[in-house]
Chain A
C-alpha cells in the first residue's frame, strides 16, 4: 500500500480495479485546514485521464505491475505474438494495446512486456532501432545542415521525417520514444 506522501510522477496505482500511472499531482492545503493531494492519473490500458483528490494520509493500493523481457515472434490476425525465451511462454497483444509501437516490431526484436495482474497490457521496444526507408523524395545534393526535414515512410509502415540529405533505401536510427530520426546508419 501507498499513502498520499508516496505519490510521485510515474507511481502506479490500482483504482477501481484498473492500473493508473500518476502524471501530475498537487499538494493542496487551505491555510489552517486539512491537506489533500490532487492526483492526475493516466489509465495504463485505455490512456484515459482521471483526476482524484485524496485526503492526506489516505491509503492507496499499488498496481501489481511486472515487466518481462520477451522476443517478438510474428503477427497472427489482429494479434502480435511474443515469447519469453527463458520458459517459452507466449503472450498475445492486440494492435490497440501496441499503439505506435507496432511500427517497431522487427523479427526477433527483444522487447519488454508490461503485465498488470498477470495479464500483458503493453510493450516497450528498445529505445533505438534501425529501419530502412522505403519511400522519400530525393534530396538536394550538398544540403547537409539537417535543419530542413522531409517526410518518409519506413519498411514497417512508420511515417516520420528525415533531413534532406537522407535517401530512399538507406537505413536510419529511430528513437522509439518519439518516433524521430536520430542518425543515418551504414548497412
Chain B
C-alpha cells in the first residue's frame, strides 16, 4: 500500500503561512463538530474533514492551512485501534494526562545524549562498550546486583562498568567513555531506578582535579545544547521533593569545591568526626541535612571522603585518612561520583577482600573478585581519574523534571 508523503510535523504545519497546502500524519485524539484533533509528538492541530476518522486512528491528512486549522482535508486512515481509545489496559503515553510532555522529554533526552557524545568526541575520547553481564558486579557494601540466570558461568548485571573500563585503560586506550545501562537491585524512587543509564569516563595521566574540570565543562556544554546559556532550571521549573520551589542553577565553571568536613559543620552544625562515630548517623545527616543544601544556585563538588568510603580510589598522599573521591551535586541532587583511581593491584585486592568480609558480616550476597580486573592492575595501568555520572539525573536537571519516571522511555512501573 502506498501512503501519501512527505508529511510535516504539526509544529511545522502551524508555522506555514495561511492558504499553504499542508500534509501531516498523526493520531486522532479528539473528534467532534466535523473535525479531528490530529496529534503528533510536536503538538496537535484540528483538521476539518469528512468523514471524521474514528478516535485513536492514525491518519495521513492533506488540506489547506488557514492559519488556525487544516481545512478541506482528505484524511487517509492507515491504522485503527481494536475498540475504544484510549483503552483501559492500553500501554500508551497518550492515555496519560502528561503524555505529550513526556514524549517531549524523550526528544530532549536524545539532545542530551548527543551533547555528551560530542563533548567527549571533541576531546579525543574513544566511546567504548563493555559487557553488561559480568563475573563480578562490584563489591560496594550498599550496592546489590541482579543475577543473570541460565548462562554457562555465574554472571550478574554490572552495578557500574568500572572494572571493564579500567581493563581497557590497561590495554592502552588512554581516554575512554561509555554510556550504558547499570543495574542496582532494590533501588526505586524519585531519583532511582533499578535499571538506569550511566555515563562513565576515564582519563589517563590525570586525577580527580582534572575529572572535576571535565564534569563542570561537560554539564555546561549539555546545558548550552538545551538552553541558550549556562543557566539551567529556569526559576520555579522544578518542584523539589518537599514541594518547595527551587531557584535556577548556573552551571558555568568553576563550580564550588567543598570538603565533607566543611559541609557537615556548615549545613548540619556537627563535626564530621562526631557524625562518623556511627555509619548510620553519618548517612542520615548526609541525606537529610547536608545533601539538600549542596549545589543550590551553583553546583558543588564534595571532596574529602574518609578512606573507608572509597574502595577503588587512591588515598590522598598528603593525608592517607582521606580518599581522592569527589561527588558532584546540582540543586541538592547527587549527579556523579569520581576518583583518582587506585592503580596498586595489591592494595586493591586487600580492599576488595575487606569489602567481601563486610558484605558477609551484613548477611549480604558476597560476589567473587574479578581476577581479570586485578590482573590488569597488576600489569600496570596508567594513573587515571574516572567519573560515573547518572544520565537520567542530568536529563532531569536540564528539563526541570521532579521524577526520574518523567525522563525515561518506559518507567519500571509501566513495564
Interface residues of chain A, those whose CB is within 8 Å of chain B, are 5, 26-36, 38, 53, 55-56
Query: Which of A5, A32, A55, A56 lies in contact with B337, CB distance below 8 A?
Result: A32
Check A32/B309 contact, CB under 8 A, given A26-B241, A53-B288, A55-B280: yes
**Contact assessment for A30 and B334 in the assembled complex, using a CB-CB cutoff below 8 Å:** yes
**Contact assessment for B142 and A32 in the assembled complex, using a CB-CB cutoff below 8 Å:** yes
Q: Mark B315-354, 1 if CB is under 8 A from A, else 0.
A: 0000000000001000000100100000000000000000
Closest A residue to B279 by CB, please name it: A34
B residues near A26, Cβ cutoff 8 Å: 189-190, 241
**Contact assessment for B291 and A30 in the assembled complex, using a CB-CB cutoff below 8 Å:** yes
Rounded to whole Å, the gap between the CB of A124 and the closest CB of chain B is 25
Decide if B227 is an interface residue (CB 8 Å cutoff): no
Known contacts A26-B241, A27-B189; 16 further A-B pairs (Cβ under 8 A): A28-B189, A29-B187, A29-B189, A29-B192, A30-B286, A30-B287, A30-B334, A31-B337, A32-B142, A32-B337, A33-B142, A33-B309, A35-B142, A35-B187, A53-B284, A53-B287
Most chain B CB inside 10 Å of its own CB: which residue of A26, A31, A32, A38: A32
Docked complex Cα distance between A46 and B187 (Å)? 33
Q: Mark B175-218, 1 if CB is under 8 A from A, else 0.
A: 00000000000111111100000000000000000000000000
**Contact assessment for B287 and A36 in the assembled complex, using a CB-CB cutoff below 8 Å:** yes
A residues near B327, Cβ cutoff 8 Å: 31
Across the A-B interface, how many residue pairs have beta carbons closer than 8 Å? Answer: 53
Docked complex Cα distance between A55 and B309 (Å)? 18
Closest B residue to A24 by CB, please name it: B241
**Contact assessment for B287 and A31 in the assembled complex, using a CB-CB cutoff below 8 Å:** no
A residues near B309, Cβ cutoff 8 Å: 32-33
Rounded to whole Å, the gap between the CB of A55 and the closest CB of chain B is 6
**Contact assessment for B142 and A27 in the assembled complex, using a CB-CB cutoff below 8 Å:** no
Docked complex Cα distance between A35 and B184 (Å)? 12
Rounded to whole Å, the gap between the CB of B194 and the closest CB of chain A is 11
A residues near B189, Cβ cutoff 8 Å: 26-29
Docked complex Cα distance between A127 and B394 (Å)? 43
Check A30/B188 contact, CB under 8 A, given A35-B142, A53-B288: no
**Contact assessment for B143 and A32 in the assembled complex, using a CB-CB cutoff below 8 Å:** yes
Most chain A CB inside 10 Å of its own CB: which residue of B140, B189, B241: B189
Rounded to whole Å, the gap between the CB of B179 and the closest CB of chain A is 18
Rounded to whole Å, the gap between the CB of A177 and the closest CB of chain B is 19
Docked complex Cα distance between A34 and B241 (Å)? 19
Docked complex Cα distance between A142 and B207 (Å)? 78
Closest A residue to B286 by CB, please name it: A30
Closest A residue to B290 by CB, please name it: A30
Decide if B283 is an interface residue (CB 8 Å cutoff): yes
19 pairs of residues in contact across A and B, judged by CB atoms under 8 Å: A26-B189, A27-B187, A27-B188, A27-B189, A27-B190, A27-B191, A28-B287, A29-B142, A29-B192, A30-B283, A30-B287, A30-B334, A32-B141, A32-B143, A32-B309, A33-B286, A34-B280, A34-B283, A36-B287
Docked complex Cα distance between A28 and B334 (Å)? 11
Docked complex Cα distance between A27 and B291 (Å)? 14
Query: Which of B142, B190, B192 lies in contact with A34, CB distance below 8 A?
Result: B142
Most chain A CB inside 10 Å of its own CB: which residue of B141, B187, B283, B310: B283
Of residues 228 through 280 on chain B, the ones whose CB sits less than 8 Å from some CB of chain A are: 241, 279-280
Q: Mark B295-317, 1 if CB is under 8 A from A, else 0.
A: 00000000000000110000000
Query: Which of A5, A27, A33, A53 lies in contact with B192, CB distance below 8 A?
Result: A27
Docked complex Cα distance between A35 and B187 (Å)? 8
Rounded to whole Å, the gap between the CB of A181 and the closest CB of chain B is 23
B residues near A27, Cβ cutoff 8 Å: 187-192
Rounded to whole Å, the gap between the CB of A52 and the closest CB of chain B is 11
Docked complex Cα distance between A31 and B337 (Å)? 7
**Contact assessment for A35 and B186 in the assembled complex, using a CB-CB cutoff below 8 Å:** yes
Closest B residue to A35 by CB, please name it: B142
**Contact assessment for A5 and B186 in the assembled complex, using a CB-CB cutoff below 8 Å:** yes
B residues near A29, Cβ cutoff 8 Å: 142, 187, 189, 192, 287
